[in-house]
């Protein structure tokens, strides 16, 4: 494996929003994403997994400059951005594609699907916009060309998702941030989208950040996994290692919760109980402690720092699974 | 009607139902019966008419849709040819729906309590206090603690999982005999998904509510459904007990679909299988001529 310069790199990224306008929570700053570091390398696929509301979409948007980060550093092709202004993000925006989580809402309802898909090509001047070219693009994403003359409201959920995939890939970027690209797709179409990503990566050495709740997709497609909880990365590392040996209790809970496609193996109880805390009221210490089976008193008082665990995994836990229990893990400075 | 008859009367009866949008067929000749307390899953191709069918049951189709068939009845009330008001009288006590994205179920601008009392309760004769009590009871039922506090929350103050519980609570307040859930857990992480599935199972056990659950996740279907309906190109191609369909799918589409399930494919393969629709069509044609 060659250690290429990452296309995009984030260090200690934090995103806070002012709960502005003074209507709801006047003047409070809300931390949505905290201390996130990750590298997106050419030809590598990183999957971000985590509970709903853990800041995945916010992170993805921030990486391509759609939500300004508050703290931290971003490097593009090795060079740090001077600041987080729109102008500084310009080079990243020009070279990346974002696939929105809710495709239908990102479409102009008065534009036909074919035009929606062709738009990035028209704007950039790259690639053909003839109806044959757009039809073959749609076909790559598994979208029948008979749907191209329709308006967005007349598509099923999965058809809209495929249209969004076709549009995002109409101009081949160096970086693709895809937010839930397979949600709402049947498993065959889902496989088609994954194959499409793999083809693009092979042909163009594109870097991918894929946000997904689907563990099977993450397992098949990604080289690295980033697990988020309440805005922080709680575990990251090579996908195969994390599936083989999850070290953070939340990761373990996630993997144990996945229902298996076999009605003879049902669970009587959910593996983890308890609500995900609100980011308006973050728990003290480790933010997972209210739901953690392994929590000890230290966990309630002190927030764990990220440590380097075995097999290239990084874990934010006082008592990582598979490491000596009872001894807090050594924090690396 | 005797109590015995009431117990055996299906919650939902659909006989040869067809739906088209501006003349383009989306659902063709579907038959489906759901008994009280039954959890039925619909799986199938994207665009095969699953949501259209669900919307038809609830009278939520756009005006461009035409519905025809022999029967569509909910809780014993015939709805074929029913207009808006007739549907509205069934929606609620008859059936209620939980959508995929809890964030879009509620308006971001109003407190949950106001939305639940106002929106869902228009037209009932209960007093404000009675409504509140019913909401609190239902919140407890879906495992939402501190109901009073939740009612004063805005939607964005709750996590997706919690909000989906509120959405389920909102559906249950109407005391429906059928709960329709269109991919209710796709937007949740798997720990919350497992909790929501468990909740649905409990609601069935405790309140006897029947559930029609649409999902692309075969694991979710296997986990909670009693029966599965498989849709392909607007038709039900196969239905039966979940164990039987998973152990021994008979329709070529169902077989092909199961072969694509990523959880059943060893990690490390470079390409995922996809369905060859041409081959399926050829197969169908051969069967027709045979
Ligand atoms: N402008 C904002 N004001 C207040 N809260 C916000 C704002 N933007 C995002 N949030 C909150 O930040 C949190 C993270 O949201 P985000 O959409 O990034 O989560 P996510 O991990 O993508 O969730 P999901 O899996 O549901 O898509 C949520 O709790 C959300 O309500
Ligand atoms: N409002 C509409 N006008 C015209 N056609 C529509 C409309 N809504 C849906 N359709 C079409 O009807 C068919 C069935 O759509 P439906 O949304 O029921 O599919 P689905 O099975 O729910 O798919 P998915 O799994 O992608 O959500 C699709 O081909 C779709 O394009
Ligand atoms: S730090 Fe403690 S509470 Fe947090 S995940 Fe680790 S063991 Fe659990
Ligand atoms: Mg998101
Ligand atoms: Mg649908």
More confident residue, B45 or A281: B45
Cβ count near B71 (within 10 Å):
14
Does residue B186 belong to the interface with chain A, where contact is any CB pair within 8 Å?
A: yes
Q: Do A188 and B257 touch (CB under 8 A)?
A: yes
d(CA B31, CA B235): 9
Cβ count near B77 (within 10 Å):
14
- Rounded to the nearest angstrom, the minimum Cα separation between A165 and chain B is 15
Find the mean pLDDT for residues A25-49: 89
- Collapsing DSSP to helix, strand or coil, A206 comes out as coil
Q: Is the dihedral of CA A229, A230, A234, A238 positive or negative?
A: positive
Q: Do A156 and B189 touch (CB under 8 A)?
A: no
Ligand 2 contacts CB of residue A163 (under 6 A): no
Please, which pLDDT band fits residue A125 given cuts at 50, 70 and 90? confident
Query: What domains, with CATH codes, occur in chain B?
Result: 3-94+217-289 (3.40.50.300)
Residue A332 has what pLDDT?
Answer: 39
Whole-complex ipTM: 0.86
Going from the Cα of A46 to the center of ligand 3, the distance in angstroms, rounded, reads 24
Residue A21 has what pLDDT?
Answer: 43
Could you read off the pLDDT of A227-260 as tens digits, one per residue? Answer: 999 999 999 999 999 999 999 999 999 999 999 9
Chain A interface, best mutation among B155, B188, B194, by max A CB count within 10 A: B194
d(CA A62, CA A89): 10
Ligand 2 contacts CB of residue B59 (under 6 A): no
Going from the Cα of A179 to the center of ligand 4, the distance in angstroms, rounded, reads 7
Ligand 3 contacts CB of residue A299 (under 6 A): yes
Cβ count near A228 (within 10 Å):
24
Residue B159 CA: which ligand 1 atom is closest?
29
Q: Which residue of B has its CA nearest to A184?
A: B216
DSSP per-residue string spanning chain B: --HHHHHHS-SEEEEEEEEEETTEEEEEEEEEEE-TT-EEEEEE-TTSSHHHHHHHHHT---TTEEEE-SEEEETTEE-TT--HHHHHHHBTTTEEEE-S-HHHHS-TTS-HHHHHHHHHHTT----HHHHHHHHHHHHHHTT-S-HHHHHT--GGGS-HHHHHHHHHHHHHHT--SEEEEESTTTTS-HHHHHHHHHHHHHHHHHH--EEEEE-S-HHHHHHH-SEEEEEETTEEEEEEEHHHHHH---SHHHHHHHHT-GGGS-TT-SS-----HHHHHHHHHHHHH-
Please, which pLDDT band fits residue A280 given cuts at 50, 70 and 90? confident
Point out the residue among A183, A192, A266 whose CB comes nearest to the CB of B274: A192
N-terminal to C-terminal alpha carbon distance within chain B: 47
Could you read off the pLDDT of A191-221 as tens digits, one per residue? Answer: 988 998 998 899 899 999 999 999 999 999 9
- With 90 as the cut, is the pLDDT of residue A15 above it? yes
B6 φ, ψ (degrees, to nearest 5): -60, -40
Residue A326 has what pLDDT?
Answer: 45
For chain B, 290 residues long, give each residue's pLDDT as a single digit of tens. Answer: 444 444 578 999 999 999 999 989 999 999 999 999 999 999 999 999 999 999 999 888 888 899 999 999 988 888 887 666 666 666 656 788 888 777 777 888 888 888 887 755 555 677 778 877 888 888 877 777 677 778 888 887 777 777 888 888 888 887 788 999 998 888 788 888 888 898 889 889 888 899 999 999 999 999 999 999 999 999 999 999 999 999 999 999 999 999 999 988 988 777 899 998 888 888 777 776 65
Q: Whose CA is nearest to atom 3 of ligand 3?
A: A289
Could you read off the pLDDT of A83-118 as tens digits, one per residue? Answer: 999 999 999 988 999 998 878 778 999 999 999 999
Cβ count near A310 (within 10 Å):
13
d(CA B173, CA B168): 9
Ligand 3 contacts CB of residue A288 (under 6 A): yes
- Collapsing DSSP to helix, strand or coil, A232 comes out as strand
């Amino acid at each position: 494996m060659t250690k290429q310069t990452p296309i995009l790199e984030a260090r200690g990224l934090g995103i806070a929003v002012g709960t502005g306008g003074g209507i709801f929570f006047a003047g409070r700053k809300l931390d949505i994403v905290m201390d996130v570091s990750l590298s997106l390398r050419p030809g590598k696929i990183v999957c971000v997994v985590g509970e709903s509301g853990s800041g995945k979409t916010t992170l993805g948007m921030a990486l391509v400059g759609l939500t300004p980060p508050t703290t931290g550093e971003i490097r593009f092709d090795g060079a740090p951005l001077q600041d987080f202004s729109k102008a500084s993000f310009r080079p990243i925006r020009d070279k990346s594609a974002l696939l929105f989580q809710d495709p239908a809402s990102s479409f102009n309802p008065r534009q036909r699907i074919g035009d929606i898909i062709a738009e990035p090509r028209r704007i950039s001047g790259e690639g053909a916009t003839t109806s044959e070219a757009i039809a073959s693009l749609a076909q790559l994403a598994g979208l029948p060309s008979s749907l191209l003359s329709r308006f967005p409201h007349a598509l099923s959920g999965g058809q809209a998702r495929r249209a969004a995939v076709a549009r995002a890939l109409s101009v081949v970027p160096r970086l693709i941030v895809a937010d839930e690209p397979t949600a709402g797709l049947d498993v065959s179409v889902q496989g088609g989208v994954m194959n499409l990503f793999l083809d693009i990566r092979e042909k163009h050495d594109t870097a991918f950040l894929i946000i997904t709740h689907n563990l099977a997709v993450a397992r098949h497609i990604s080289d690295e996994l980033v697990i988020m909880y309440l805005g922080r990365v709680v575990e990251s590392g090579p996908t195969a290692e994390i599936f083989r040996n999850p070290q953070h209790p939340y990761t373990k809970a996630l993997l144990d919760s996945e229902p298996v496609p076999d009605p003879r193996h049902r669970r009587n109880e959910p593996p983890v109980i308890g609500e995900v805390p609100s980011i308006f009221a973050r728990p003290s210490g480790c933010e997972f402690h209210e739901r953690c089976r392994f929590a000890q008193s230290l966990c309630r008082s002190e927030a764990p720092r990220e440590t380097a665990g075995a097999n290239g995994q990084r874990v934010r836990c006082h008592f990582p699974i598979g490491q000596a229990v009872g001894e807090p893990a050594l924090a690396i400075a | 009607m005797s109590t015995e008859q009431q117990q055996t009367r299906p919650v939902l009866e659909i006989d040869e139902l067809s739906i088209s949008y501006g003349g383009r067929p989306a659902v063709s000749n579907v038959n489906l019966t759901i008994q009280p307390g039954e959890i039925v899953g619909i799986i199938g191709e994207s665009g095969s008419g699953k949501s259209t069918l669900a919307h038809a049951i609830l009278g939520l189709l756009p005006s461009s849709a035409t519905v025809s068939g022999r029967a569509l009845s909910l809780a014993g009330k015939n709805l074929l040819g029913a207009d808006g008001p007739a549907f509205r009288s069934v929606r609620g006590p008859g059936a209620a729906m939980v959508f995929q994205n809890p964030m879009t179920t509620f308006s971001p601008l109003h407190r949950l309590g106001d939305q639940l009392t106002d929106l869902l309760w228009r037209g009932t004769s209960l007093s404000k206090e009675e409504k509140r009590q019913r909401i609190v009871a239902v919140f407890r039922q879906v495992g939402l603690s501190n109901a009073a506090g939740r009612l004063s929350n805005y939607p964005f103050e709750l996590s997706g999982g919690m909000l989906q519980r509120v959405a389920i609570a909102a559906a249950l307040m109407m005391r429906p005999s059928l709960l329709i859930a269109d991919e209710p857990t796709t937007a949740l992480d798997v720990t919350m998904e497992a909790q929501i599935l468990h909740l649905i199972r409990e609601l069935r056990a405790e309140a006897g509510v029947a559930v029609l659950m649409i999902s692309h996740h075969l694991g979710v279907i296997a986990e909670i459904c009693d029966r599965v309906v498989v849709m392909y190109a607007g038709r039900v191609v196969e239905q039966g007990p979940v164990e039987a369909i998973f152990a021994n799918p008979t329709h070529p589409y169902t077989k092909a679909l199961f072969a694509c399930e990523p959880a059943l494919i060893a990690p490390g393969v470079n390409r995922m299988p996809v369905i060859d629709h041409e081959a399926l069509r050829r197969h169908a044609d051969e069967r027709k001529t045979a």
